[in-house]
A and B are shown apart, each in its own frame.
Chain A
Amino acid sequence: MNHEKVIILPCSEPDKAIEIYKELIYNEPDILFNVLGTSDKVEKLIELGSKIAAGFTNPAAYVVWITDPSVVKPVLDNLFKSNSIENIEDNVAFMLSITDRVVDVITIEDKIDLVKIFKSFQLALNDN
């Protein structure tokens, strides 16, 4: 895991978490790979995602770890709603493009590997 590329939202402080998350999404054209919850699969996603993100400095890419998604639910609802995506609960990760669109979602059933994560990054960059 590349710790420098992982941003852990402070879910114990909901207001601060929402503020940081919004700033991350809307203030810079970064590639954000968002990982939701806590599980072995989530850890693997963070590990692989941070490795790919480590290659991106300009433009920058980060793994945003949201340990308790309910804390930032309004923000997530807004993102998913605007992209017509339902059943947020089934997802363990999603990719936000540089224009803040949800371009890929990873569910609990998906096989996780570097190609899968790299594909997410490409979808974020191929933001037409």
Chain B
Amino acid sequence: MRTLIFILFLFLFLFICHPLFCQTIWNFKESRTNGVIKEYKENEINFHIDISSQIFIEFNRANLREVIVNKTKNNSGQLNSLLSKIKSLQALSETGLAELPLLSEKLKDLNNENLSVNEKQQIIKNAFSNISFITLQIISAAEKDEEFYSLLNSALEEAVTSSENSYGLQYLKVFEATRNYAESLKEKMEDLISAEGIYIQMAASLYGQNGNIVPIHFDGFDDFKPADFYDPYELKLALADEQLKELEKLRFISDSINKKGLPAVVNNFGKNLNDSIIVPAITGLENTFDSLKLQLLSLLDKNFQLPELNRRTNDLYDMVINTETNAREFRAKYSNPVSGSDAEVQSQLIKDINYLLKGIIAVKNQTVNLIAYVNMQLVNADGNLRRTLLEFENYVNTKTSEKLEQGKKIFDCLAFEITGYRTIHDINSLTVQFTEEVKKLDIGDLPESTVMDIKNYAGYRQEGDNIILEMRAGKNNKDPFSLGKQYFTLMKMQPHIVTNTGLVFTNQIGSGNDGKYLASPGVSTVFKFGTNGKSTFYRKFLDFGIGVNLTTLNFSEENSIEVGAAIVGTAFSDYFQTGWGYNLTQGQFYWLIGFRIPFLSKEFDL
């Protein structure tokens, strides 16, 4: 039984804590220009929305209030105790309502007439232990709250006077009354939040591909002037400045291909890529590791001699000890008494030996001091070595992190240029700009819903741009804190027309030129089908198109300018194009294969 109660408590605890981790403060509904409405219920980090949509934001005030109270430090005791009461009553009612349908199943064996009284008692105890425990908790809370107690009485009155009176109905009415009372308490919380001086703000920033950051106006939330109206679906046949630059570069590339051949140009392109990106990256890494290597060498150089010194002083000590032993033996040998002139010689010899021995003992003492000194140096060196190794480790860690971050940045830049979309890593680093124009609102002034009107208020934008929406709260002069953040990636989901530049290889039909392809710069204007936005894979990666390609040709050396028009099909965001065309100047048909070339007009800021 104790285990059951423990499990029930654990369940209640998790139920109470659960909303703290995944509370949704808002729900989003996207309205597209073609009338399609899409609801975003899942709490994804990044929503892919149509570039000209309107996003209806419905606020979940109950959750918002809870998040505000949970995240605001130093709230009054009244506010915290009200929140804790609401959570507790919510948890009890929801757990009770979940337990209720299980009762009849748990009691089904009670009808067995062969059971003893004890067995029946056991079945009843097991069946009602949880639900009666929850109910007693609710009644205990109601006994401290007159209004709640009165509501419970009314709920029970309703149950017992019903023609369908049953314990199930009695429990149901009690749990429902508890849930309703918890909801009603949430309304009271709003007044307390306002009284605490807590304000809320909401803002959104559009991050363009050109690096521009544009605030998006929300009625009632800010004083921003809406950006000038821009329709990204409007057909624009004129080439942008960037595309004109690309054409110029493509002309140069195609001339080179026609003169030097494709392999030489590809080789050259590879070399340029190598020189501009790969070599600097590798050189950077090499430099880092060279620097690390030097640090390590200087470290080793500083310390490696000390053990050798230690070894040599010990050898010296051994030598001194040997010499001393020899001298003592020598003295002992000549210490026996002799007579005559030999006695004088012996006396002088002993004197000399004693003098020598004295010197040896002095050297020995010096050696002992030297050994002590060297040992002390070794201990210090060990400390230095350890400290230097720690510094070295920190240095390696810092450099590695820097390099990794740089690597991610390079990847983000490359991915953005090739796909036209930021990576999640890149999107996550974007922040909303809360400027002075963003109003500080009382929670009571928060409307039930609002609209992020991208269509009318976001101004100039392109496919692949990102919008970051954030709501935050603050109290008095303290730093505000985020209540919720949502990222959006803009995509063209309606049918539309795209103009791209590319490198085109043309081959005259029936010219007998041995299948030789001529390179030239081309411009393709292609129709893109709409997508429902359920899967972004099609638009981001396959993205088929059909349209026309215009290119300059050079089939005959007689004409300085030849123009070709072709019908083309494109795939993979127009990176691949193929089609059939007609040389308007020469009157000849041709096949073409075309490619979009990335990195033509962009400089990398690495």
* A51 neighbours in B (Cβ, 8 Å): 160-161, 165
Determine whether the beta carbon of B128 is less than 8 Å from that of A126.
Answer: yes
Segment 130-154 of B: residues with Cβ below 8 Å from A: 131-133, 135-136, 139, 142, 149, 152-153
Determine whether the beta carbon of A98 is less than 8 Å from that of B121.
Answer: yes
* B149 neighbours in A (Cβ, 8 Å): 115
B327 interface contact, C-beta 8 A = no
B111 interface contact, C-beta 8 A = yes
A99 interface contact, C-beta 8 A = yes
Which of B1, B107, B135, B156 lies in contact with A128, CB distance below 8 A? B1
- Complex Cα–Cα for A114 and B174 (A): 11
A55 interface contact, C-beta 8 A = yes
Flag the segment in A11-19, A34-42, A85-93, A116-124 that touches B.
Answer: A116-124
A110 interface contact, C-beta 8 A = no
* A59 neighbours in B (Cβ, 8 Å): 107, 110, 120, 124
Determine whether the beta carbon of B125 is less than 8 Å from that of A55.
Answer: no
- Complex Cα–Cα for A127 and B170 (A): 19
Determine whether the beta carbon of A126 is less than 8 Å from that of B133.
Answer: yes
| A126-B117 contact given A118-B156, A118-B170, CB 8 Å threshold | no
| A126-B121 contact given A114-B160, A115-B156, A118-B156, CB 8 Å threshold | no
Segment 51-70 of A: residues with Cβ below 8 Å from B: 51-52, 54-59
| A125-B152 contact given A51-B165, A55-B166, CB 8 Å threshold | no
* B174 neighbours in A (Cβ, 8 Å): 118
Segment 23-42 of A: residues with Cβ below 8 Å from B: 26-29
A113 interface contact, C-beta 8 A = yes
Q: Give the secondary structure class of A's interface.
A: loop
* Shortest beta-carbon distance from A2 to chain B in Å: 9
B193 interface contact, C-beta 8 A = no
Determine whether the beta carbon of A128 is less than 8 Å from that of B160.
Answer: no
- Complex Cα–Cα for A28 and B118 (A): 9
Q: Give the secondary structure class of B's interface.
A: helix
* B124 neighbours in A (Cβ, 8 Å): 29, 59, 98, 125
B167 interface contact, C-beta 8 A = yes
Q: Which residue of A lies closest to B168 (CB)?
A: A55
- Complex Cα–Cα for A52 and B133 (A): 18
Which of B128, B159, B160 lies in contact with A125, CB distance below 8 A? B128
Determine whether the beta carbon of B153 is less than 8 Å from that of A114.
Answer: yes
Q: Which residue of B lies closest to A59 (CB)?
A: B124
* Shortest beta-carbon distance from B107 to chain A in Å: 7
Determine whether the beta carbon of A127 is less than 8 Å from that of B125.
Answer: yes
Q: Which residue of B lies closest to A57 (CB)?
A: B166
Q: Which residue of A lies closest to B121 (CB)?
A: A29
* Shortest beta-carbon distance from A101 to chain B in Å: 11
- Complex Cα–Cα for A126 and B142 (A): 18
* A52 neighbours in B (Cβ, 8 Å): 156, 160, 170
Q: Which residue of B lies closest to A54 (CB)?
A: B165
Determine whether the beta carbon of B156 is less than 8 Å from that of A122.
Answer: no
| A119-B110 contact given A98-B121, A114-B153, CB 8 Å threshold | no
Determine whether the beta carbon of A122 is less than 8 Å from that of B135.
Answer: yes
- Complex Cα–Cα for A59 and B174 (A): 20
Question: Binary interface profile of B, 236-257, with partner A (CB < 8 Å = 1, else 0)?
Answer: 0000000000000000000000
- Complex Cα–Cα for A27 and B132 (A): 23
| A126-B165 contact given A52-B160, A119-B136, CB 8 Å threshold | no
Q: Which residue of A lies closest to B174 (CB)?
A: A118
Determine whether the beta carbon of A113 is less than 8 Å from that of B153.
Answer: yes
- Complex Cα–Cα for A82 and B142 (A): 31
Determine whether the beta carbon of A115 is less than 8 Å from that of B170.
Answer: no
* B136 neighbours in A (Cβ, 8 Å): 119, 122-123, 126
- Complex Cα–Cα for A125 and B448 (A): 45
B329 interface contact, C-beta 8 A = no
B99 interface contact, C-beta 8 A = no
* B125 neighbours in A (Cβ, 8 Å): 98-99, 125, 127-128
* B352 neighbours in A (Cβ, 8 Å): none
Determine whether the beta carbon of A56 is less than 8 Å from that of B142.
Answer: no
Determine whether the beta carbon of B110 is less than 8 Å from that of A58.
Answer: yes
* Shortest beta-carbon distance from B152 to chain A in Å: 5
Q: Which of B107, B169, B170, B174 has the most chain A CB within a 10 Å cutoff?
A: B170
* Shortest beta-carbon distance from A91 to chain B in Å: 20
B129 interface contact, C-beta 8 A = yes
* Shortest beta-carbon distance from A97 to chain B in Å: 9
Determine whether the beta carbon of B170 is less than 8 Å from that of A55.
Answer: yes
* Shortest beta-carbon distance from B409 to chain A in Å: 62
Determine whether the beta carbon of B160 is less than 8 Å from that of A29.
Answer: no
B437 interface contact, C-beta 8 A = no
* A28 neighbours in B (Cβ, 8 Å): 117, 120
A-B contact pairs, 11 of them (CB 8 A): A26-B117, A28-B120, A29-B124, A55-B168, A113-B153, A114-B156, A115-B152, A122-B135, A125-B128, A126-B129, A128-B129
Contacts beyond the supplied A54-B160, A55-B159, A127-B125: 9 A-B pairs with Cβ under 8 Å: A29-B124, A51-B165, A55-B166, A57-B166, A114-B153, A114-B156, A114-B160, A115-B139, A118-B174
Which 3 A/B pairs are nearest by Cβ-Cβ distance? A125-B128, A126-B132, A51-B160
